[in-house]
A and B are shown apart, each in its own frame.
Chain A
Amino acid sequence: MINVNYRSISQINGPLLFVEGIENAAYNEIVTITMENGESRTGQVLESRKGIAVVQVFGSTLGMDTSRTRVRFTGSTARVAVSSDMLGRVFNGLALPIDSGPGIIGGEKIEIVGDAINPYSREEPSEFIETGISTIDGMNTLVRGQKLPIFSGSGLPHNQLAAQIARQAKVKGKDEGFAVIFGAMGITSEEANYFINEFRSTGAISRSVLFLNLSSDPSMERIILPRIALSTAEYLAYTENMHILVILTDMTNYCEALREISSAREEVPGRRGYPGYMYTDLSTIYERAGKIKGKSGSITQIPILTMPGDDITHPIPDLTGYITEGQIVLSRDLLRGGIYPPVNVLPSLSRLMNQGIGKGRTREDHRGVADQIYSAYANGRDLRSLSAIVGEEALSKNDRTYLSFATNYEKRYVNQALDEDRSIEETLDLGWELLSVLPESDMKRVKREHVSKYGRWSKEDALS
């Protein structure tokens, strides 16, 4: 059937074409659609029956018709040619260069839907990445090979935070930095320019590959873009032995595109109209982060998503949180309070933190001091809402110290400058300093020997 052109589209519905007369299109086969004016688009077979194929078009269906538009089945599933020449370049969602540089010649053609990593081949991520950001390093530590998304909201500074992480991320005692793969789905050109300039000005661009699908670009390309980005990442990590940081933004736009296809196919919708298989679909993106035994490269993922209505129970953050190894949650309230980065540590989590911290990695007191801050800050925040009702006077003296702890914690620990790169020691010490206003006897989360070694309580205080 290869190289036979079909002019037998029977129906066009949203991004879907129904092509008749084809006997044996392969599931997920790539097709080329050529319109009368010579323009062409790429598509993929979503369902194949004897005599009919349902094709999803990447790109717009503008100008397609049922009589003259031709469909050619390529006989192969989606592949991308990857090579290290891609570093320093900018591509669109279908991996075509858009930076006026030359096309990528040669390169290895690999499937964009990667096979699952054999769990038996995985290596547990455990190398501490110092991002220089206290709420991450101190409280929700990132490790090499982790997938740690940023849950944000529209208008929150997630881009600045992601760029700051990309700029400052380093693994202690190792020189090799991260190469960045940046996959943008449906973001504005302003946002895209922010990242491009950011990568340019720091010189990181030469170690980056950018895939851009802007809000004005075809939404269907958003389905394929992260997969192309990750196949490139896998090539660079496992063939070229590089450490890759993949930033994907905005996963919310990706999920919208997924919903669009699903509704065009008239599938039974799941929660809020998103398809029931969205969990599985997202996992085939996020699970491509990791480390493999015996390979020196790695893939660390920082997907960014904006929570519709700031609602963390919305299917997009919800399903993401069920797959990723934690989340960094940004808060509008903190931003209003003038705090950058406005990370609300309470709903934030890094599940791989324990593997990356402690003696020999960060410092022996790390776990304890983080837990103590969590518990004290949660307590302080509760008291803050309580005092809004009953008034601060109705709180006990002890409660009032927790209240002020919470405030100081936000002002001094959470808050830091856009270019402030705090070492992990600074972050941990700052934690102890802030805790020292609380009674020493309340330090139940930290080992006693750590209290005496790192704590800031004087002997007299202990007795009072």
Chain B
Amino acid sequence: MGTIVKVSGPVVVATAVENAKMYDVVRVSDLGLVGEIIKLSASEATIQVYEDTSGIRPGDKVENTGRPLSVELGPGLLKSIYDGIQRPLDVIREKSGDFIRRGLTAPPLDTTRKWEFKATARTGDTVSTGDIIGEVQETALINHKIMIPEGTQGKLETLQSGTYTVEEEIGSVKTEKGSVKLYLRQYWPVRNIRPVNRKLPPSEPLVTGQRVIDTFFPVAKGGTVAVPGPFGSGKTVVQHQLSKWADSDIVVYVGCGERGNEMTEILTTFPELLDPRSGKPLMERTVLIANTSNMPVAAREASIYTGISIAEYYRDMGYNIALMADSTSRWAEALREISGRLEEMPGEEGYPAYLGRKVSEFYERSGNAVIKSAEERNGSITIVGAVSPAGGDISEPVSQNTLRVTRVFWALDASLASRRHFPSINWLNSYSLYREGLSSWYNKSVSPEWSKTYATAMGILQKEAELQEIVQLVGYDALPEIEKATLDTARLIREDFLQQSAFDDIDTYCSLAKQSMMLTMITRFGELQSQAVEKGTLMSQIQGMNVRERISRMKEIKDQDFGKYYEDSMNEIMEAFVPLTGGVVKND
């Protein structure tokens, strides 16, 4: 048994740890605190401890479990809330009350619950890693596929439908090395990437129901997004919105070093919110990992890996997963703190030199993949990572390393947030490298005019930025009428399209069809007012027109009623402009 020789915060050093291997999980002191070996020398093992080390002293024992830090995978993950090392917080509460005591363990998956297992493979079938051999209806929304674990290959000796706990044997495989038992549960070491056959280029958007995202800066299923922004700019709300409304099959939400109340909010609201597609509670497709800011820092480092391993497992069943990581900066800071305690040579701003590698390894676990299995099947993981740059300045290392590997950038802007323009995604600085590739999907599935309308609207917003600079010099009144018209249209785009309150019952989600019609209505209105101005109408006249209300009311109209509203409004708008454009409304 090992013996501690040094304690410094979350890092302890021990000698004589039996069979110590890198990343083995150990139990520290009589309290049994969970730790992981992160550095080895001939005589000493350096351990990061996932719990508070107060009271631990040199001489205390260290026991090696001989196993790397792993997640338990199987039915029962959905609807759960775990800490960074997959301890179920509901069970922990039963054991220790409202405050999390140290040294507690509990199995991540309920070992007493019986699941109805339906075998889909038959005895005698040849099976290998990833093959689906049966299923369990895990929640009303998700059918949990039971797969052959990594490294197992052979003939199915037995397999029985029936009711099982995750610990009971459901069958066995005859392999070259002998018989291997099968369970509903399997394990995965979190720091290893779950392999896939190959990755495909992302081809479909993750539809989020958020206009500025879907229309302007879309993310593909299997894509990666960086969401940097100063405090209070809306990172968490964006991620909550995506968790609620995005059309992924499963959401893994990792609260990494953030607020306790934000996790509670998900826990209290999600069971009551209904998935717009299935009508079932959103919680039925959600897994929560909560390592709040005041929980031990080493477990924060692990939480990201726990989350992504669970995501990969469901992806392997053929599902589309959206993983939210809020905030990756806190994870990077955990790396920095541990690195400092190890007295490693610091890189930029004290972060370890390997920060960039760690960041890219994490995002590399996203993607649209052909699953490792004999049967052809695809699944995807979309990663949305919040970044919390110091002082909101994204020149710092975590932002920069993230932007290097992510393909979508939602630039949250403090000045938009302070005027309560939400989501405060800056339309001039943000980008999506998927937009081009997805435009054919949008043109086909939503509207043939999609790309054109997008280009028109974006053009107007860019023009607005140029005009604003002129206004700064000469004032608004000095502008030619036609440019006032452009400014006015830009304002309609900003206020009646881009702004979308997460807390409005109707506007919290906006279908693609409605998005397309809304933007078409605004750009059409813009064209008409420009035509009217060319014919000599003054902007001050147009600004008083009552039909404008048709535009400002768009957000209040429900999705299903919007088609009719759109038809009526377009007609009314056309009519209203007839006298101003000299009777001829140019139609295109």
Contacts and interface: CB of A to CB of B under 8 A. Distances in A.
Contacts of B503: 354, 367
Interface residues of B, number: 82
Interface in B217-262: 230-232, 255, 257, 259-261
Interface string A274-285: 001101100110
B93 A124 contact: no
Nearest to B260: A119
Interface residues of A, number: 81
A180 to B, nearest CB: 22
B89 interface: yes
A292 interface: yes
A270 B349 contact: yes
A363 interface: no
B474 interface: yes
A271 B548 CA distance: 50
A323 B56 contact: no
Contacts of B267: 119-120
A49 interface: yes
Given A378-B418, A394-B477, A48 B7 contact: yes
Interface string A105-126: 0000000011111111111110
A318 interface: yes
B260 A271 contact: no
Contact of A375 (B102, B390, B419): B419
A371 B297 CA distance: 37
A322 interface: yes
Contacts of A113: 52, 54
Nearest to A278: B333
B473 interface: yes
B553 A448 contact: yes
Contacts of B290: 119
Contacts, number: 225
Given A47-B8, A118-B93, A119-B81, A23 B261 contact: no
Contacts of B293: 279-280, 283, 287, 323
Interface string B411-444: 0001001111100000000000000000000000
A445 B501 CA distance: 10
B333 A279 contact: yes
B268 interface: yes
B5 A50 contact: yes
Interface in A107-152: 113-125
Interface in A386-417: 386, 389-391, 393-396, 399
A49 B58 contact: yes
Contact of B98 (A29, A121, A287, A445): A121
Interface stretch (A11-19, A330-338, A343-351): A343-351
Contacts of B90: 120
B55 A26 contact: yes
Nearest to A113: B54
B472 A47 contact: no
Nearest to A1: B57
A24 B59 contact: yes
Contact of A26 (B56, B232, B264, B474): B56
A49 B46 CA distance: 13
A293 B264 CA distance: 11
A379 interface: yes
Interface in B81-139: 81, 89-90, 92-93, 96-102
A322 B553 contact: no
Given A116-B295, A287-B292, A122 B419 contact: no
A326 interface: yes
A48 B57 contact: yes
A298 B477 CA distance: 55
A114 B295 CA distance: 11
A390 B292 contact: no
A293 B340 CA distance: 38
B93 A120 contact: yes
B340 to A, nearest CB: 5
A143 to B, nearest CB: 10
Interface string B338-369: 00100000100110000000000000000000
A464 B545 CA distance: 10
B200 interface: no
A121 B92 CA distance: 10
A447 B556 CA distance: 9
Nearest to A25: B57
A47 B99 contact: no
A27 interface: yes
A352 interface: yes
A270 B388 contact: no
Nearest to A284: B294
Contacts of B473: 389-390
B92 A118 contact: yes
A381 B6 CA distance: 57
Contacts of A315: 390-391
Interface in A211-265: 238
Contact of A270 (B8, B350, B471, B474): B350
Between A114, A117, A120, A292, the greatest number of chain B beta carbons within 10 A of the residue's beta carbon is seen for A120
A50 B58 contact: yes
B259 A325 contact: yes
Interface in A59-104: 77
Contacts of B96: 118
Between B6, B388, B418, B544, the greatest number of chain A beta carbons within 10 A of the residue's beta carbon is seen for B418
B476 A394 contact: yes
Between A27, A115, A277, A441, the greatest number of chain B beta carbons within 10 A of the residue's beta carbon is seen for A27
Contacts of A393: 475
B572 interface: no
A445 B90 CA distance: 40
Nearest to B255: A119
Given A47-B7, A322-B388, A27 B56 contact: yes
B416 to A, nearest CB: 10
A265 to B, nearest CB: 10
Interface in B136-195: none
B57 A27 contact: yes
A50 B6 contact: yes
B478 interface: yes
Contacts of B337: 276-277, 280
B495 interface: yes
Contacts of B496: 444
A287 B232 CA distance: 17
B93 A121 contact: yes
Contacts of A283: 257, 292-294
B376 interface: no
B261 A125 contact: yes
Nearest to A115: B99
A115 B8 CA distance: 19
A283 B98 CA distance: 18
Contacts of A120: 81, 89-90, 92-93, 264, 267
B315 interface: no
B54 A394 contact: no
A426 interface: no
The 8 closest A-B CB pairs, nearest first, are: A394-B475, A313-B391, A378-B419, A283-B293, A321-B231, A28-B54, A115-B99, A287-B294
Given A280-B337, A448-B553, 17 more contacts: A26-B55, A26-B57, A27-B53, A27-B55, A116-B292, A118-B98, A119-B89, A271-B349, A276-B336, A276-B337, A279-B333, A283-B293, A287-B292, A315-B390, A315-B391, A325-B259, A390-B472
22 contacts: A23-B58, A25-B58, A27-B53, A48-B57, A116-B292, A118-B92, A118-B98, A119-B255, A121-B93, A121-B97, A121-B98, A268-B350, A279-B257, A280-B297, A295-B98, A318-B231, A346-B418, A347-B414, A374-B419, A375-B421, A389-B472, A390-B473
Interface of A: 23-29, 46-50, 77, 113-125, 238, 267-271, 276-277, 279-280, 283-284, 287-288, 290, 292-293, 295, 313-315, 318, 321-323, 325-327, 346-347, 349, 351-352, 354, 367, 371, 374-375, 378-379, 386, 389-391, 393-396, 399, 441, 444-445, 447-448, 464
